Chain A
Amino acid sequence: MTAIKSETVTRRPAGHGGGATLWAGLVLIGLVLLAAVVSVFWTPFDPEGVFSDSILLPPGAEHLLGTDSFGRDVFSSILRGAQISLLVGTVAVGIAAVLGVPFGIVAGMNPGRLDQFMMRGNDISLAFPALLLAIIFGAIFGAGTVTAMVALGIGTAPAFALIARSGTMQIMSREYLQAARASGKSGLFIGLRHVLPNISGMLIVQASVSFGIAVLAEAALSYLGLGTPPPTPSWGRMLQDAQGYLFIEPLLIVWPGIAIAVAVLGFNLLGDGLRDRFDPRMQVNR
């Protein structure tokens, strides 16, 4: 998608773009990562139990962000919820890359009928929203974290295929690749040795953006009751639980909302920053 816009870019020295954006992204993701790591070893309170004597307490010294309708410490839940978000993001993006990238490279290396055939198939999958796929998977295989990760992975794979293909096609016209072909190197060798390293920059950018999308999608699925099963804390389900208390304890909906926003914004800024850094020609003039 971004490749098409090459006429409208401004030039900057390679390797120095995107400084502020990149750092902002890294800081936000760092926060989420920190929350996830810390919560593995420690949370102020048990985020999975039920405490009927501390239901719906306002934020205070003991419970930094208050407690929810189960008497759970919201701060603890937010910390633990980061684990699920990062897990779903990592696995979903991993699946998407493993499926999409080889697909795109094969299509890009074989222009003509095979490419046309593969990419039309890809277009059809691309038109099918990942979230809808995840809901269907949830209905068929039972809702759960694994189902959500697999479905989101499959659902975002076509985007990777598209990027990988367009990158591959650019690389394929380079002299050194024509030389490699002329010397009789196999397609597998060329793909792994020459193409993949050269398109890795744009794939990392895509991964970062997809990561944000996956985090958001997991939250949406859990909000619909089709993601992470209770009582494992998930930001999306915290939103759903809080919805019933919207006019009684409005802050309950604010905290997971902020957490989701921080994570998604972080990965998007990181993606933007990385894009500027890896490929300064891609900087859109805004």
Chain B
Amino acid sequence: MFASIATIMVASMALVGCSSGSTTAEGEPDTSLTVGLLATPGNLDYTTTAGAAIPQALLYNVYEGLVKLDNDGTIIPLLAESWTVSDDGLVYDFLLHDGVTFSDGSPFTAESVKFSLERVKDNWTANGPAYLDPIASIEVVSDTEARIILSKPSNSWLFNMSGPVGTMFTESALADLATAPVGTGPYTVSSFKTGDSLVLAANADYWGEVPYMTDVTLRYFTDATAQTNALLSGDINLISGISQFQLVDQFKSNTDFQVLEGASTGEVTLSMNNASDAFSDVRVRQAVMYAIDRQAVMDTANSGYGLLIGSMVPPTDPWYDESLADLYPYDPDQATELLAEAGVSDLTVAFKIPNLPYAVAGAQVVKDQLAKVGITADVTVLEFPAVWLDDVFSSHDYDMSLIMHSEPRDVNAFAAPTYYAGYDSPAVMAKFAEADAADATTYVELMKEATTTMAEEAAADWLYLQPAISLADADLLGVPKNTPSLALDLSTIAR
């Protein structure tokens, strides 16, 4: 399946070069694009504001790092032309592209690398500053050579360098990060209206290939119906990541549009508070696993779209194991037996869900299925993000919740004992640490072992993987299909 996605991607990328595309009345190619999105950024500074909305708009478009994640989840060079790693896995020598400038004219050099990465530890309060903890020191060898020395070998840090924390900033433009971002990317921000739109213009001085689309408007909608109506009426050209899948079918039969189905990193998770009285017994958690018909949840709450995963690993990660989806087949009798074995009867759990459509829908199916094995789920709907984050995520005051974890490679974070899941397994944590320091092959093996253990111990019920579905005008080419990172990479899109 993924080979075919890759093939299509390559094919569509190849078409970019030779297609004449649609043209305007004057015969010029139409190089303006309007994209409809849902989550709106509150400001433009992802160094201090959490959430996926800002990186989605800015990463790889306005901001760039040394490396980037391509659409299949592979780490590829960006500002670094190439790099070498020492045998002990501690020293990374990056060769940087020459003649790169930031959009305010200041030059990008190895000094910028040192400055940007050293800034993270003390100045970043969001988007995972701890990801760069493995870095011991950064040396400027020459203008185009930067050497990064790690304190311990780490497989995950280079991956994380492809995300927001790896962004290169210029010292000259730090004052207005929230309103006027300056990066080395193919686009610059020309206007931003909070809650309404973000307008990007092609950066004429871009060091690489200038993108086909010269004017890109990201328009923010409050609901998916308005979003799809805008696409149908021609107000927008592309919806990246539709959230209500019952709206998709009307586009499948309409030749004016294309429907692209890819993989996301959003695991829709039925979290159980492992530290709570209700779920501290592994047998009770396993009973829940057997009691839930995940296919039925996906069919009802997600119109059947999605992928059953059974662990917190999407297929774009190398340690994905598709057999885990069948680890706990739907078996209410087995669930009842496990509950009896655990000495639990008449279990009532506080089921606190965010007021998001997929959660409200999914929770009703879960409640119905749990009732069939004698578990009563008291559903409370909490306002998202503020109240849910406070009650469930920060205070851990819940037994069960339902939320999508959208960050890439977030399984390590999920296993931390201090995390809201309350899963406490020193063995798994040790394995994650061992994996990070191991060589590439052992890394994948150990990651697979650790994530499998988490699934076996039912740390949570990973219901399904949210699909990444994009709806686009039929003439658009190179639309990113998967969302392996937080970024919406606009540079490949053409007509």
Chain A residues within CB distance 8 Å of chain B: 48-50, 52, 55, 69-71, 138-139, 142-144, 224-226, 229-231, 241, 243-248
Contacts and interface: CB of A to CB of B under 8 A. Distances in A.
Interface string B358-374: 00110111011100000
B133 interface: no
Q: Identify the interface centre among A48, A142, A224: most chain B CB within 10 Å of its CB.
A: A142
A230 B363 contact: yes
Nearest to A222: B381
B246 interface: yes
Contact of A247 (B250, B360, B369, B379): B250
B223 A243 contact: yes
B386 interface: yes
| Interface SS of B by simple majority | helix
B360 A142 contact: no
B234 to A, nearest CB: 16
A248 to B, nearest CB: 6
A32 to B, nearest CB: 25
A70 B225 contact: no
17 contacts: A49-B368, A50-B300, A50-B364, A52-B300, A69-B300, A70-B361, A70-B364, A139-B386, A142-B382, A143-B355, A144-B380, A225-B381, A230-B379, A231-B364, A241-B361, A244-B246, A247-B229
Contact of B380 (A48, A50, A142, A244): A142
Contact of A225 (B247, B360, B365): B360
A230 B360 contact: yes
B367 A244 contact: no
| Interface SS of A by simple majority | loop
B444 interface: no
Interface in B378-407: 379-383, 386-387, 391
B224 A52 contact: no
A143 B224 contact: no
Nearest to A143: B381
A22 B247 CA distance: 44
B401 to A, nearest CB: 13
B244 interface: yes
A261 to B, nearest CB: 22
Nearest to B354: A225
Interface in B305-340: none
A142 B387 contact: yes
Contacts of A244: 224-225, 244, 246-247, 357
Given A48-B368, A226-B355, A226-B383, 13 more contacts: A49-B368, A52-B296, A52-B300, A69-B300, A69-B361, A143-B383, A144-B380, A225-B381, A229-B381, A231-B368, A241-B361, A244-B247, A246-B225
Interface in B283-300: 296, 299-300
Contact of A229 (B225, B300, B369, B379): B379
Contacts of A52: 296, 299-300
A231 B246 contact: no
A247 B379 CA distance: 29
Nearest to B365: A50
A139 B381 contact: no
A69 B246 contact: yes
B355 A225 contact: yes
A18 to B, nearest CB: 41
